[in-house]
Amino acid sequence: MPTLPAATGARAAVPKTLQKGLQTRAAILDAALGLASHMGLEGLSIGALAEMMQMSKSGVFAHFGSREELQISVIREYHARFEDEVFFPAIAAPRGLPRVRALFERWMRRVSVELDSGCIYISGAVEFDDRPGPVRDALASMVRSWQSAMERAIRIAIEEGHLRADTDPTQMLFEVHGLILALHHDARFLRNPGVLERVHAGFERVVDHYRPAPAHGGR
């Protein structure tokens, strides 16, 4: 059939064009994530990104459609990278307390690396805590997703007998999350020395509080 080669060529050209568009979008998103990490989600603008990428504003706009969609895309990208660096490696740890510890250690390490730029989960919460809308909803959804994963790991640790049966997983999560917030505040804002050591010590105190009492033999 004489039309077959032309049709095949057209089909081959579409994925190539699509791939180039996806690569451009990924590059813009990477630049946007870097900008948001230093200036906050409110610091994002189509114009600033266009200048960074040496593109026209309409070229950047074509990939996201609005500043709000750009902000939401950055939140999703941040969450995906957080999962890759924190969640997925940590769940390879054995079930129970080792997994809880791995999740916390990787979470703490991620936040400590971000001290010079900023954690979008934390800075975004400050920016959007009293501003209802799709951006706040997207950010809250990502944070709740991570907290649910951490709480699930705590529940499994209770089932495994590594934590007391009467442990309140939500309360333990609250205390552990508080340590991360304190790390970000004292290390990034106050520039206090020794914060990581204090966070380590705080985590161990939380674990010791919820750990089962040692069994006593001879009775």
Model pLDDT, residue 12 = 47
Long-range contacts of residues 139-147, Cβ cutoff 8 Å, at least 24 apart: 139/41, 139/75, 142/75, 142/76, 142/78, 142/79, 145/79, 146/79, 146/82, 146/87, 146/121, 147/173, 147/177
Low pLDDT (below 50) residues in the chain: 1-13, 218-219
Model pLDDT, residue 21 = 75
Angle, alpha carbons 115-32-63 (nearest 5°): 160
pLDDT digits (tens, 9 = 90+) for 83-107: 999 999 999 999 999 999 999 999 9
Model pLDDT, residue 216 = 66
Model pLDDT, residue 9 = 45
* DSSP 3-state of 19: helix
Q: Are 137 and 68 within 8 A, CB to CB?
A: no
Model pLDDT, residue 94 = 97
Model pLDDT, residue 17 = 65
Model pLDDT, residue 217 = 55
CATH architecture classification, 4-210? Orthogonal Bundle (1.10)
- CA neighbor of 118 nearest in space, from 41, 192, 38: 38
Model pLDDT, residue 218 = 45
Specify the amino acid at residue 147: Q
Model pLDDT, residue 214 = 83
Q: Per-domain residue ranges for the chain?
A: 4-210
